Amino acid sequence: MPSNVGTSTVQRLLVQVHRWIGIVLCLMFAAWFASGIVMIYVPFPLLPLDERIDRAEPVDVDGIRVAPAEAIELADSGPGAGIRLRSQDGRPQYVIADGGRTIAIQADTGERAAAFDSSAAGRIAREFSGLAARSVHGPVQYDQWVVYGAFDALRPYYRVRLDDPEGTDLYVSAVTGEVVQRTSRSQRRWNYVGAVVHWIYPTVIRKHWALWDQLVWWVALAGIVLTLAGLYLGILRWRSAVRSGRRGLSSPYRGWMKWHHVGGLTVGVVVLTWIFSGWLSMDHGRLFSTPAPAEDHVERFAGMSASAAAGMIPVDALADAAPFSHAEIGAFAGSPVLRTTGPNGHALWRLFDGRLQVYRPTVAEVSAAVSNAWPDHEAVESRVLGEGDTYTSLREGSLAPDTVRIVLDDPGDTWVHVSPARAEIVSIMDRSRRLYRWLFNGLHSFDFPGLVDRRPLWDVLMVTLLSCGFVFCVTAVVIGFRRLRRTAR
């Protein structure tokens, strides 16, 4: 008897948990499923880096009078500063990033570049797009389409509306004059019912990263508790109906409650896996490792800081890499390198005897650099990924086929992925991260080999199940609304 009393008490508690968390979250769940369908076909706006650089003017290397090391000194930057070279208004310009600060130094005079005003932003947008600027707004620190962290370094921005039928907006950095984002009217409208809803991404929340991180993580976790409670109770009610002589997906309920019960029995597991995998998207190192290498590994792999590498590159050597429209100074295995993009595509240059020469590290050189970065572990395997790698050829966030994988003999069986085209580490995958690939990418996007690239089969499966999840959540919305109405009487 005490056991039965205890069991019924737990069940009553689960009913209350399921009911009231469901009332709070049912609309959010329905919105998650509907917005997920939108996101398949209209992703969050992005102006690709390659397009930004392709449209940039070539750097006038003959006009450079200031050495990279001198530019870092003029910017009052420390040894951890990053440095790149570009052109703005026909003048070569160093852009130095240091501890959240971004400083532009004119490479022909050494002066700090002045902040851009609205008229300059409109002109830059016209030159970038070939279209007239209808209006310029700003500068603004945050906007819905430049809200996440990748845009932090170049804030604030001007939003320039172009004179075209698509209602295109370009975002121009007031610090460097770079065009960093582009949206169309259609993209903005669809994303307000797509990514903004799905990621709980309103600007007022997302601009506070810690707040947004905690909010989404806890909401999704509450959703997992809600769904688990519902599955447990639903199975109990179904078993009770079966014991009373009913067959199939029987339910003791009627009306909307019956539809909710039967729907939970049929798609409840799918709902749970989507909520669970969505929760994992906010893991950020809580349960699983992250793909970003630690700073000490990056430093040992490079063999020197970017600022130290900049100090070794003479001004006249920069002409060796011309023509280019963008260059980034770095290091590999203790030698300065220059990563350029220009009319001839991407190129990697290494400093030899005071001159820059085209360079591409061999697999053996990459392996040696990784061994230097992880001195306590040996590299036991090295290979080029090629096409279709299970862990890195993904619907979201794929690595290039020429990426080199170095396998370490550490307890985590770590894979270090290195881009030979850039001579830098691009991701780390230990056993934990490989499991994450299946639990997040697999469950959330159905990113399984043999399925994700078989379209429209993948589309049909995703849209069908998302639609079923949405309809199921609508039953919860109706039930929740009726419960609140009864409670209010």
pLDDT digit string, tens, across residues 143-164 = 999 999 999 999 999 999 999 9
Give the predicted TM-score (pTM) of the model.
0.91
Residue 170, classified by CB atoms within 10 Å of its CB into exposed (0-12), middle (13-18) or buried (19+), is: buried
**Dihedral angle sign, alpha carbons of residues 382, 384, 389, 395:** positive
Q: Is residue 165 part of a domain?
A: yes
Cα separation of 17 and 21, whole Å? 6
Which pLDDT value is given to residue 433? 97
Which pLDDT value is given to residue 245? 64
Residues 238 and 179 in one domain: no
Containing domain of residue 32, as a range? Answer: 2-42+207-285+458-488
Cα separation of 94 and 128, whole Å? 20
pLDDT classification of 100: cutoffs 50, 70, 90:
confident
DSSP type of residue 106: E
Residues 224 and 280 in one domain: yes
* pLDDT tens profile 9-39: 888 899 999 999 999 999 999 999 999 999 9
pLDDT of 201 higher than 50: yes
Cα separation of 489 and 104, whole Å? 64
Which pLDDT value is given to residue 37? 98
**CB of 404 within 8 A of CB of 382?**
yes
* pLDDT tens profile 39-92: 999 999 999 988 998 899 999 999 999 999 999 999 988 788 899 999 999 999
What the block records as the tokens of 162 is 């172009």
46: number of CA atoms within 13 Å, CB side? 9
Residues 279 and 213 in one domain: yes
pLDDT of 165 higher than 50: yes
Is the backbone peptide bond immediately before 293 cis, with ω within 30 degrees of 0?
A: no
Which pLDDT value is given to residue 153? 92
Which pLDDT value is given to residue 57? 92
**What is the residue-averaged pLDDT of the chain?**
93
What the block records as the tokens of 170 is 């370009």
DSSP string computed for 431-447 = HHHHHHIIIIIIHHH--
If residue 426 lies in a helix (H) or strand (E), which one and from where to where? strand 424-429
What the block records as the tokens of 36 is 């997920």
Residues 172 and 215 in one domain: no
* pLDDT tens profile 234-283: 998 888 877 776 666 677 888 999 999 999 999 999 999 999 999 999 99
Angle between helices 2-41 and 255-280 (to 10 degrees): 70
Q: Is residue 157 part of a domain?
A: yes
Cα separation of 465 and 428, whole Å? 32
Residues 151 and 214 in one domain: no
Percent of the chain topping pLDDT 90:
85
Which pLDDT value is given to residue 121? 96
If residue 251 lies in a helix (H) or strand (E), which one and from where to where? none
Q: Is residue 194 part of a domain?
A: no
Residues 219 and 256 in one domain: yes
Contacts of 184 (CB under 8 A, 6+ apart): 45, 166, 167, 168, 169
Cα separation of 22 and 454, whole Å? 35
Which pLDDT value is given to residue 4? 54
Which pLDDT value is given to residue 23? 93
Residues 176 and 233 in one domain: no
pLDDT of 7 higher than 70: no
Which pLDDT value is given to residue 50? 86
Residues 175 and 220 in one domain: no
Looking at residue 128, which CATH number applies to its domain?
3.10.450
Domain boundary among 183, 215, 233: 183
What the block records as the tokens of 158 is 């001007």
Name the more confident of 152 and 7: 152
Q: Is residue 12 part of a domain?
A: yes
Which pLDDT value is given to residue 114? 92
If residue 179 lies in a helix (H) or strand (E), which one and from where to where? strand 179-183
* pLDDT tens profile 402-421: 999 999 999 999 999 999 99
CA distance to 24, 25, 257, 357, 395, per residue, from 32 (Å): 14, 10, 22, 51, 20
Residues 133 and 175 in one domain: yes
Q: Is residue 22 part of a domain?
A: yes
Q: How far is CA 151 from the centre of its chain?
A: 12
Q: Give the SS3 label for residue 417.
A: strand
Cα separation of 418 and 407, whole Å? 11
Which pLDDT value is given to residue 10? 86
Describe the chain by its helix, strand, coil percentages, rounded to 5.
45, 20, 35
Residues 224 and 171 in one domain: no
**CB of 447 within 8 A of CB of 438?**
no
Q: Which amino acid is at 229?
A: A
Name the more confident of 302 and 240: 302
Residues 280 and 246 in one domain: yes
Count CB-CB contacts under 10 A for residue 460: 10
Q: Is residue 229 part of a domain?
A: yes
Phi and psi angles of residue 6, each rounded to the nearest 5 degrees, phi first: -65, -40
Q: Which amino acid is at 292?
A: A
Among residues 397, 287, 277, 262, the alpha carbon closest in space to that of 32 is found at 277
Lowest-confidence region among 94-103, 127-136, 235-244: 235-244
Q: Which residue has the tokens 């009487």?
A: 489
Q: Is residue 233 part of a domain?
A: yes
Phi and psi angles of residue 325, each rounded to the nearest 5 degrees, phi first: -110, -10
Number of domains in the chain: 2
Q: Is residue 466 part of a domain?
A: yes
Q: Rg for the chain (alpha carbons), in Å? A: 27
Among residues 144, 182, 186, 180, the alpha carbon closest in space to that of 165 is found at 186
